[in-house]
Amino acid sequence: MNKGSVIGVIGAGAMGSGIAQVAAMAGHNVVLFDANSAAVEKAKTNLGNTLNKLAEKGKIANAAEIMARFEFASDITAFKNCSLVIEAIIENLDIKKKVFAEVEGVVSNHCVLATNTSSLSVTSIAAACKQAGRVIGLHFFNPAPLMALVEVIPAVQTEPSVTNTCKQLMADWGKIAVLAKDTPGFIVNRVARPFYGEALRIYEEGIADIATIDWAMTELAGFKMGPFTLTDYIGHDVNYVVTETVFQSFFYDPRYKPSFSQKRLLEAGWLGRKSGRGFYNYAEGAVQPEATKDESLGKAISERIIAMLINEAVDALHLNIASAKDLDLAMTKGVNYPKGLLQWCDEWGAEKCLMILDNLYAEYHEDRYRASVLLRKAARNKSSVMQ
């Protein structure tokens, strides 16, 4: 695929518009489609404003030239000349399958069809198409123009040539492409679950409050945001739903069990920053809780959460979800972790991580705290998990 290839994007929301911007700035003509004509007009205005701001800052040479590459459409037949169409709509499997079947009836036999799903089965989406071999997952991170990572997820049916073409295209767009097996959550949304889930467990047990847990994970562990600040930023309508989807998709594995505390926020409409209230209160003048800056408590909190994260990454490596290199790249470039989790494990030593997990298992007798076979082997052999 070269710059002469026309790129289609389904969905004119923030993610779809962001992907379209990336493609246009890489030199492609882009068709941005949404069945909602008002959403199309809004995206057109927002993209124009964004490109003008980038031009004012000297980050692009000519906003008008890039804007001219866009075609804004409310008719799906506009995709007829596309070489690649990327879907970025609601996380609903039935709706995605219906859309893919419709798009396949419009595009050429050589057009690649990609889904930006963050947690649904790419294989299931591909099954809605007559030519399932041309379907692939391309999971961008929000905001797409700023976030470097793209997870490339071949379905069971995906032709190897399609995977190779898409990996190269993402590199041409200036993205860091990591290859992931089509399993729930792929890399990032699978491996990152304990960052939220274990923090919530610690909070629900009354071991520490939200401010203290956030302080421990930022000031002591080096994360850019604590788990409660981050879930409020993402939005509980998004973060909780991904957790629930991954939990169900893994046949209710207790490692991914959702939290009632977060579910109640969702039910109350306290979605985080977007609604003005989540774990924190974002109303003007609201008094924020203060952390208990107890170094011993903070270390126990951070090490418990990090050990759970490491175990998840090690298990993903053990199950060939991705390579060691791609697993660490995904977490540092996709969610800005201070270091790769496999690297972190080797710096700690697998023995330390295993001890934390085994102590938790002995206390709780929950399968949630079972250690990966690979972690146990590395601890026994005093070796790197990446060997």
pLDDT digit string, tens, across residues 193-231: 999 999 999 999 999 999 999 999 999 999 999 999 999
Q: What is the mean pLDDT of residues 76-98?
A: 96
Q: Report d(CA 310, CA 191) in Å as an integer.
A: 8
Q: Report d(CA 220, CA 340) in Å as an integer.
A: 17
How crowded is residue 325: how many other Cβ atoms within 10 Å of its Cβ?
Answer: 13
Query: Hey, what domains does the chain have and what are their CATH numbers?
Result: 7-179 (3.40.50.720), 190-381 (1.10.1040.50)
Q: Give per-residue pLDDT as tens, 21-64.
A: 999 999 999 999 999 999 999 999 999 999 999 999 999 989 99
Q: Give the pLDDT score at 363.
A: 97
Q: Give per-residue pLDDT as tens, 244-259.
A: 999 999 999 999 999 9
- 1-13 burial: b if 16+ Cβ within 10 Å, else e: eeeebbbbbbbbe
Q: Report d(CA 268, CA 275) in Å as an integer.
A: 11
The conformation of residue 256, written as its DSSP 8-state character, comes to G
Whether the CB-CB separation of 337 and 330 falls below 8 Å is answered with: no
Q: Give the pLDDT score at 1.
A: 83
Q: Is residue 378's pLDDT more than 80?
A: yes
Q: What is the mean pLDDT of residues 296-319?
A: 98
Task: State how far the alpha carbon of 104 is from the alpha carbons of 25, 124, 156, 306, in Å.
Answer: 26, 15, 18, 44
What token pair was written down for 284? 């003007």
User: Which pLDDT band holds residue 4 (cuts at 50, 70, 90)?
Assistant: confident
Which of 30, 26, 25, 38 minimizes the C-alpha distance to 10?
A: 30
Element (DSSP H or E) covering residue 138: strand 135-140
Active site residues: 118, 139, 151, 189
The letter for the amino acid at 266 is: L
Percentage of the residues of the chain whose pLDDT score is greater than 90? 96
- SS3 state of residue 21: helix
Element (DSSP H or E) covering residue 85: strand 84-87
Pairing label, strands 149-154, 135-140 = antiparallel
Largest CA distance in the chain: 63
Q: Report d(CA 1, CA 6) in Å as an integer.
A: 9
Q: Where are the alpha helices (DSSP H) in 105-235?
A: 122-126, 160-172, 188-191, 193-204, 210-215, 227-234
Q: What is the mean pLDDT of residues 161-173?
A: 97
Torsion of CA 211, 212, 216, 222, to 10 degrees: 10
Whether the CB-CB separation of 28 and 65 falls below 8 Å is answered with: no
User: Which pLDDT band holds residue 387 (cuts at 50, 70, 90)?
Assistant: confident
Name the region of 382 (left: φ>0; alpha: ψ -120 to 50; beta: rest). left
Q: Report d(CA 73, CA 387) in Å as an integer.
A: 50
Q: Give the pLDDT score at 52.
A: 96
Q: Give per-residue pLDDT as tens, 269-295.
A: 999 999 999 999 999 999 999 999 999
The conformation of residue 276, written as its DSSP 8-state character, comes to T
Question: pTM (2 decimals)?
Answer: 0.94
How crowded is residue 197: how many other Cβ atoms within 10 Å of its Cβ?
Answer: 25
User: Which pLDDT band holds residue 127 (cuts at 50, 70, 90)?
Assistant: very high
What token pair was written down for 322? 């991705």
Contacts of 183 (CB under 8 A, 6+ apart): 190, 319, 321
